[in-house]
Amino acid sequence: MLSLRFLLISDLLNRVINDERHKVNYLNQALAYLYLYKMRRRPLSSSATSNSSISHESGDTGVDKGLPAKDSVGITKRSAYGILALFVLIINGSWAVHRYQFESMPVPLTADQAGKRGFSEEEAMKHVKALTELGPHPVGSNALDLALQYVLAASENIKKTAHWEVDVQVDFFHAQSGANCMVGGLFKGRTIVYSDLKHIILRILPKYASEVEENAILVSSHIDTVFSAEGAGDCSSCVAVMLELARGISHWAHGFKNAVIFLFNTGEEEGLNGAHSFITQHPWSSTIRMAIDLEAMGIGGKSGIFQAGPHPWAIENFAMVAKYPSGQIIAQDLFASGAIKSATDFQVYKEVAGLSGLDFAYTDNSAVYHTKNDKLELLKVGSLQHLGENMLAFLLQAGATSHLPKGEAVEANGKTGYDTAIFFDILGIYMIVFHQRFANMLYNSVILQSLLIWTTSLLMVSLLLLPSFYRSYRHRQYPMFQAHVWKRKANLSSVTQADLAKLDAERWLFKAGLIQWLLLLMIGNYYKIKSSYLALVWLVSPAFAYGLLEATLSPGRLPKPLKTLTLLMGLSLPFLISAGMFIRLAGTIIGIAVRFEKNPGSTPEWLGNAMLAIYIAVIICLTLVYLLSYVHISGAKLPIILATCILFSLSFAAILSGIVPPFTEDTARAVNVVHVVDTTEYGENQEPSSYISLFSTTPGKLTKEVEHIGEGFICGREKVFDFVTFSVQYGCWTQNDAGSGWSKSDIPALHVESDRKGTDRITRVSIDTKVSTRWSLAINTEEIEDFKFKENSEELVPFGEKSSVDGWHIIQFSGGRNAPTSLSLNVDKLPFPSRVPRSTDEPSLPFLSRLRKSEFCRASQVAELFPNVSPEIVVREARLEDCWEVAGTHCSSFFPEYSFPLDFMLRTDRLVAMLMGFSVPNGCRRTCLIAVIGSSVDGSSFGSEDFKIGGFDGNFNLNKGYVAGILTVDTVANFLPRKGPHRQRRTRIAYISNVAVRERFRRKGIAKRLVAKAEAQARSWGCRTIALHCDLNNPGAIKLYKGQGFKCIKVPDGANWPQPKTSPDIQLMMKLLNTLTTC
């Protein structure tokens, strides 16, 4: 046989030499014989083919004459279970990365553990509690004065306990009037005017080094809050961290070469006024070389760096010394793009003072930002310790250095932007920092090499494809790949070529993912997007794995299925770096969607959901493109499609049914209730009108809220409310009780003092805001060219170019209680508009037609306007749609220490137990009672009250409310044997169990109402006694039950009573019921 093959090959080679016309065919046949000989000596790998062999092809028949036909290549499909395992690994691995990177907190330290020089969260938490107990403390409020006094007293105490070689200087600074005329970000088209602001400033430096005063590091945050929040996150937590840092630094600073200034400012929530007044008015501001701002756009969690620079010194040194480094450059890109509608004091320090530095922010629970749920209970344990230890290490490094960047260096670096830093952390334990210059070189190098490799590959493939593409019409599937396979192995059968083409297609799908990320890297590099490093990681790592494990330089090698190791090796690093951040960004989008509408009613309700869905879809498409190649020839296509459809259907059904509520007790929809006095038509013959306006920055209708409040609200788009700084295009309004609470004498007045007419019109207007120290005024820039704003004789806003938005420039004023109420406005270069008659005797003010005064757009306390808006508590039987919240209430009360995913698993277990494990003896009665907030007994319902599952009523109600407490009552005790010779049964006894009230609703009488409802239920069953077990370690519960008439009872030995498993120390308590009926 061997000699026969060589004779055949020799004959074919002779024909190649002698027959010019058919030499190509003869050469291909000779190569096929050589390949067959080689493959018989070394069989195909089982990983490439299964039960495969090669058949020879000759001419159009596909079989060489005189040779036996062989079997075609058979491709073994990947197991669906294997693909499912990869999906599970990616999902769980991503969540594990997110949890470790963003939710793993350091252990809080006590004062003894931290020592004099360390940071103690226990001590910092005392400051947070003291500040939040004051309630909301906005500018101009009495609560803010109390907060200032508290911070001042804490600062004086730091001064007393400082190291004897450290000088701690405390300054209670009273800022005068000023104007913030920044034009970037949220300040475009605005001038922010402030007055009567107070700040607490600490300067810590060595006593015997006077030159240290000339170089200082600023650490800044704000004391004031918004009107609706106590500000545990924004930013009492920041103030507390700064006070504890100042205490620690006061014992380190004797060896410093730079002073450290701690600025506790007010007015940040009104337009960054505190930082601006300090930078422009305080004498210490000229000594600052670097600024660190502490902020919050949520509450708790890891405080990460979301802005750094422009000089890279700060972020580089932070990365070197921070114990728990956290920061992502993608957050800076999003913030700079305007996608996040917010601003921090760092903008003032960078734009006005020309400083470089770092900007930190808490971002957990971003949906509660600036809402009433910004409260202490949501502040995660370890949050303050994380920021405090990072900041302490950085300040020790920066305070002892003599190389702080000077103002000239910062300005030069800021102008070029060429050497700014790119930074990101890996799992919160290591931070990578490199310069933009290095990034440009690296990106350009990778792009050029990738283009070179791809161009070479495509050229080589084209040379193979073009001569053979004409034969591809014979194959219905993958014609281009089969043509390529035919050219490489022309003598293979058509079935074999089709199988090998699938393997080639699998590899090209993998390469398509590389092309996708290459394009993103090119776009990011062109526009200098700093987060382009993500595209680099997702391109280089899979390409390296593919080249190492899959690529070959042998032209005769047949394609093989991709190795699973290639996928695991290629995606490990990208997922490690970016998976946690992608999940965190989804939470940020949810937080943005909750307060998405600047002008309520201006966007459709579904837009926020669409944004989140598009983001998730884009992330899945970009990151799982490599996995798609493995699904290509697997048997998992149909199961994946079915599983996706089922998951979507279940999720959609859960949302529509209300099992998964859009808002929870920790993330409530913010609704604004404003008392409005409309004076636009106010004059001699027209009285001002007043009404109550109800609106929300969260997209969606206010139907449920209006039904709950009552008070005759009418909702719609017919009445547009113009609040100067924003407009309400969809809202609700009522005139009930709107006529009280204001006086005509408090209506602001605009007086034209002079109106000089000529080529240009110059008008002087006096503004009397009466008692208001917070107001907004809009100036029509299409009518005027410039204006000047004065307080008494002091010029706050000079003539000069003013920016505008939609043809309006807004002057926004805010200040303390002693802020001026009489101001003047000079309008210059005002051409006469055609619609203003020149002959009028009374000067008109078409350019000042929009004025809002805080006292006449009054954000009053909701309870003062509508007593009925206080949460109504309704105790009723639980229904099936309540079961998920009932399980959540049970778990959060009895197992509060559990977190995701254990809490989810436990909640699911409780749900199943309640629905399926409530088997009771025949004749026994059982029901689950719940206390709900925001529910009504009457409402649209459907179902059957006679149908019950596990004590749950089978009736459904569309207005189910929020479950705040639960209780189970039954007559199971009647069916348990008792001690005694006659084995008599207990009769007419009801038993209470599973009494639980969510933490935020405790001490509101909910448990009493549940127990009272259970007693009433037991009486309706004819029971004469009701019993329960109480934990002896819970004195509050014992006091509650004794107050309800329960008494402690000793259980006879051997009696078979229901025995709780939550605590070993329990006491049986019973109460006699007044009833004469039989059970």
Q: Residue 511: is its pLDDT beyond 60? A: yes
Q: How many residues does the chain have?
A: 1079
How would you classify residue 1071: left for phi > 0, otherwise alpha for psi between -120 and 50, otherwise beta? beta
Q: Out of 234-248, 359-373, 928-942, which region has the weakest mean confidence (pLDDT)?
A: 928-942
* pLDDT per residue as tens digits for the range 136-162: 999 989 899 999 999 999 999 999 999
Which range among 201-205, 325-329, 414-418, 1054-1058 shows the weakest confidence by mean pLDDT? 414-418
Contact 217, 200 (CB under 8 A): no
Per-residue DSSP letter, 796: E
Q: Are residues 951 and 1061 in the same domain?
A: yes
Task: Kindly report whether the global pTM for this prediction surpasses the value 0.95.
Answer: no
Range of the domain at 304: 111-428
* 201, two tokens: 């400033």
Residues 115 and 218 in one domain: yes
Q: Which of 377, 411, 428 is where one domain is finished?
A: 428
- Mean pLDDT, the chain, rounded, equals 79
* Comparison of pLDDT for 988 and 293, the residue scoring more: 293
The CA distance from 1005 to 1044, in Å, is 12
Confidence (pLDDT) at 803: 82
DSSP 474: G
- pLDDT tens-place string over residues 773-797: 888 888 888 777 788 888 877 888 8
Per the CB < 8 A criterion, the answer to whether 935 and 960 are in contact is: yes
Range of lowest pLDDT (66-70, 168-172, 315-319, 558-562): 66-70
- The per-residue pLDDT for range 823-869, each reduced to its tens digit, is 888 776 554 443 333 333 333 444 454 555 554 444 333 333 333 34
Average pLDDT (711-740) is 84
Whether 958 is covered by a domain: the verdict is yes
Per the DSSP assignment, residues forming a β-bridge with 1025 are 989, 1072
Comparing 167-171, 660-664, 927-931, the range with the smallest average pLDDT is 660-664
pLDDT band with cut points at 50, 70 and 90 for residue 448: very high
Per-residue pLDDT averaged across 279-305, rounded?
A: 94
Band of residue 252 on the pLDDT scale cut at 50, 70, 90: very high
- Same domain as 9, residue 140: no
- On whether both 146 and 262 belong to a single domain, the answer is yes
Examine residue 617 and state whether it is found in any structural domain, yes or no: no
Report the number of distinct structural domains present in the chain. 3
In a domain, 780, yes or no: no
CATH number of the domain bearing residue 1006? 3.40.630.30
In this structure, what is the dihedral angle of CA atoms 1052, 1056, 1058, 1060, given to the nearest 10 degrees?
70
Q: Which residue has the tokens 């929040």?
A: 229
C-alpha–C-alpha distance, residues 174 and 166, integer Å: 25
Do residues 18 and 127 both lie within one domain?
no
pLDDT band at 45 (very low <50, low <70, confident <90, very high): very low
Chosen domain end from 372, 402, 428: 428
Question: Does residue 790 lie within any of the structural domains?
Answer: no
pLDDT of 125 strictly over 90: yes
With respect to residue 887, please indicate whether it lies within any of the assigned structural domains: yes
- Min mean pLDDT across 127-136, 333-342, 683-692, 879-888 is at 683-692
Residues 161 and 25 in one domain: no
| Contact present, 578 and 97 (Cβ < 8 Å) | no
Percent of the chain beyond pLDDT 70?
Answer: 74
Q: With CA atoms as reference, report the closest residue to 204 among 161, 265, 151.
A: 161
pLDDT of residue 158: 96
Provide the pLDDT confidence category of residue 637 given band limits of 50, 70 and 90: confident
Residue 997 lies in a domain: yes
Q: Tell me whether residue 765 is in a domain.
A: no
DSSP 8-state assignment for residue 108: P
Q: Virtual CA dihedral for 440, 443, 448, 453, nearest 10 degrees?
A: 170
827: in domain: no
Residues 16 and 144 in one domain: no
- Residues 36 and 176 placed together within one structural domain of the fold: no
Dihedral in degrees, nearest 10, Cα atoms 960, 961, 965, 969: -20
Kindly report the CATH number assigned to the domain that includes residue 176: 3.40.630.10
877 has pLDDT over 80? yes
Same domain, 944 and 1052: yes
Are residues 1048 and 899 both part of a single domain? yes
Mean pLDDT highest for which of 184-198, 555-569, 762-776, 856-870?
Answer: 184-198
Residues 123 and 27 reside in one and the same domain: no
Q: Is the pLDDT of residue 66 over 60?
A: no
Chosen domain end from 428, 452, 470: 428
Residue 1079: band (very low, low, confident or very high) from pLDDT cuts 50, 70, 90: very low
- Active-site amino acid positions: 1041
Q: Identify whether residues 198 and 318 lie together within a single domain.
A: yes
